[in-house]
Chains A and B, each alone.
Chain A
Amino acid sequence: MAKVFQGRPILPAETRGQAVVTHTGFNTLACYYKSILTNASRAVCGDQDNPELFGRDLTDKIICLPKGIGSTSAGATWERIAIMGIAPAAMLFSQQIDSLSAAGLVLADVWAARRICAVDQLGDEFLNYVQAGQPIHIGSDGRVTVG
């Protein structure tokens, strides 16, 4: 049965996709650095410290996370993966978006004209409910339907 969650649309878009889920912080640079350096055609998560995501294909997926963590160097990462065509379809944050993810996603939107849909403040219940592989629909008003 589908369940609906309401979040705050930061970079709104209507989109659908398959969930990948991390219950710990999402380290952008650690996840994507190897894919960028090797000019990969798919973004396979390279963050060894994240057992839920390590080795998973993140391309076009909907990443469900509490918030982003990691190096301030990650500002350019979102723009790069958007241009390479290996970005996720959306980022769904259960908490308020962190400054590093906010910067990177906005940079991709404004400077690469590649929108990666971003919704935050979906709540702990969202992250407890959503499972990897579930279908997700995101409305441009920040309404997220899981299942």
Chain B
Amino acid sequence: MHLTQAEQKVLDGKQGPMLQKVMKTLVLYGEALAAERLVDLDWGGHFSIPFALPGVGPRLEMLDELAEAGLKTKYPFTLDPRAPADFETLGVSPEQKALFLDMLSDQPAYDARMLQLGLRDKNAYTCTPYFPEVGNIPPRGAVLAWSESSCVVYANSVLGARTNRNAAILDLLSNIIGKTPLTGFLTDAGRRANWLVAVKTTKRPNPQLLGAAIGIKVLEDVPFITGLDRFLSPALEPSTIDFLKEMGAACAAIGAVGLYHVENVTPEAVDQGKNLLRPDYRTYTIDDQTLEALFASYPVMWEDPQARPRKCMVGCPHLSLHELHGWTARICDALQAAGRDRVAVETILCAAPQIIQKFKEDEKAYGRLKRSGVKLTDTCPEAYMNNRLCAREAVVTNSNKFRAFTTARMYLDHDLIQIIVGGRV
């Protein structure tokens, strides 16, 4: 890989051994990916390393080395949702709480290191940093080094920014150097589609199912999706944004999609249309039967498949403000229609701290939700299930990503609301 003189000096250790080590990592990584050179980052990072859990978070010793050398990211960064510590909201038992405290014993030290290394602020924890209330919104064309698969696919596809699917820690090191290897989605060629996915459903598909169907088929390739614009507004209005967020998270987590184009909707597809397709593209058609068969294929992973649901978690990825209002209205209206005051299943909605704060400012909506017994949290449902005692509970959700990574059981939104109100599957 070609390095500039300034980059070579860093690699030679002229700016200290720690920065040399960081640059060495980045150069070896770039060479493995056959990148020509490094390019400057234009915007702050978003990283998928919010916990001190072994195997997920970096070792504290490594963070200490970086912090003690006075290193910091070029721009402030945001992190995935904070570790589950609001035990009352999550309704954990004493045993579950004890296990969480043991699992996350390094978390306070970890959070402190992250602030030292450039975390934007103490509330910069969410998997939807790109919403206006949170404000990590890179402009179109900006070069990034993000991780968290659902954020990468959103930044590339909906915002038109440019980031590869970086691994945790490499994202941090790239943002310390302020550069990333020029390869993959950073190049025009890497952003062209090699699949035409034709959506031929008779009604607006469930985004979480549609995303999964696409991800399973195309894996890490780039799909150009037609037929979806029938169901989405051409302007990126809140309901369209929500749909794209949900679909993207599923195709990124269940496949490995880092970029999709939706004809007449996403920015590059609006500008370039089918010219984005490579000459050798393949075609995949999705209809109602495709999605029904996929949904029917999901196994029940509960210890007791006949169990009554113990908990409902919605918000993987975190809910937008628009979705939070939507879930509030649908749950409360369904309760009213059933002649009930409170939900029959402990229900937790997950969103960014800034979005929860904004929602609470709407006293009428917040009051209504609170009276229904539904709780709000800014943690991550998947992180909750990392606790093996929590993972044994019968949890229901509408999230395909949450289902795929845990023992949670997925239902479509309408059915999930009936479960929340009635208490039975």
- Residue numbers of A with Cβ under 8 A of B are 10-11, 25, 29, 32-33, 36-37, 69-77, 79-80, 83, 96-100, 102-107, 109-111, 118, 120
Contacts and interface: CB of A to CB of B under 8 A. Distances in A.
A86 to B, nearest CB: 11
Given A102-B29, A110-B24, A76 B166 contact: no
Contacts of A69: 219-220, 256
A119 to B, nearest CB: 11
Interface stretch (B57-65, B270-278, B338-346, B361-369): B57-65
B320 interface: no
Given A25-B256, A99-B165, A104-B167, 16 more contacts: A70-B256, A72-B166, A73-B49, A73-B56, A75-B166, A75-B169, A76-B56, A76-B169, A77-B55, A79-B58, A97-B32, A99-B29, A99-B164, A106-B170, A109-B28, A110-B21
12 contacts: A37-B53, A37-B54, A71-B48, A72-B171, A76-B55, A76-B169, A83-B59, A99-B166, A100-B165, A102-B29, A102-B32, A106-B32
B58 A73 contact: no
A91 B147 CA distance: 23
A109 B184 CA distance: 23
B172 to A, nearest CB: 9
A36 B167 contact: no
Contacts of B24: 110
Contacts of B49: 73, 75-76
A11 B32 CA distance: 9
Interface in B62-97: 62
B375 to A, nearest CB: 26
B34 A96 contact: yes
Nearest to A72: B147
A75 B168 contact: yes
A70 B55 CA distance: 14
Contacts of A99: 29, 33, 164-167, 184
B54 A72 contact: no
A136 B69 CA distance: 42
Nearest to A39: B54
Contacts of B33: 97, 99, 102
Contact of B62 (A74, A96, A100, A111): A111
B144 to A, nearest CB: 13
A17 to B, nearest CB: 21
Contacts of A76: 49, 55-59, 168-169
B210 interface: no
A10 B32 CA distance: 6
B45 to A, nearest CB: 12
A122 to B, nearest CB: 15
B28 A74 contact: no
Q: Which of A10, A72, A97 has the most CB of B within 10 A?
A: A72
A81 to B, nearest CB: 8
B336 interface: no
Q: Which of A75, A77, A80 has the most CB of B within 10 A?
A: A75
B169 A107 contact: yes
A33 B28 contact: no
Nearest to B24: A110
A71 B49 CA distance: 11
Interface string B12-52: 00000000010011001101111000000000000011000
Closest 5 CB pairs of A and B: A75-B167, A103-B167, A75-B168, A36-B55, A102-B32
B251 to A, nearest CB: 13
A109 B21 CA distance: 11
B184 A79 contact: no
Contacts of A111: 21, 25, 62
A126 to B, nearest CB: 18
Contact of A29 (B55, B166, B219, B220): B55
Contacts of A109: 28
Q: Which of B56, B220, B253 has the most CB of A within 10 A?
A: B56
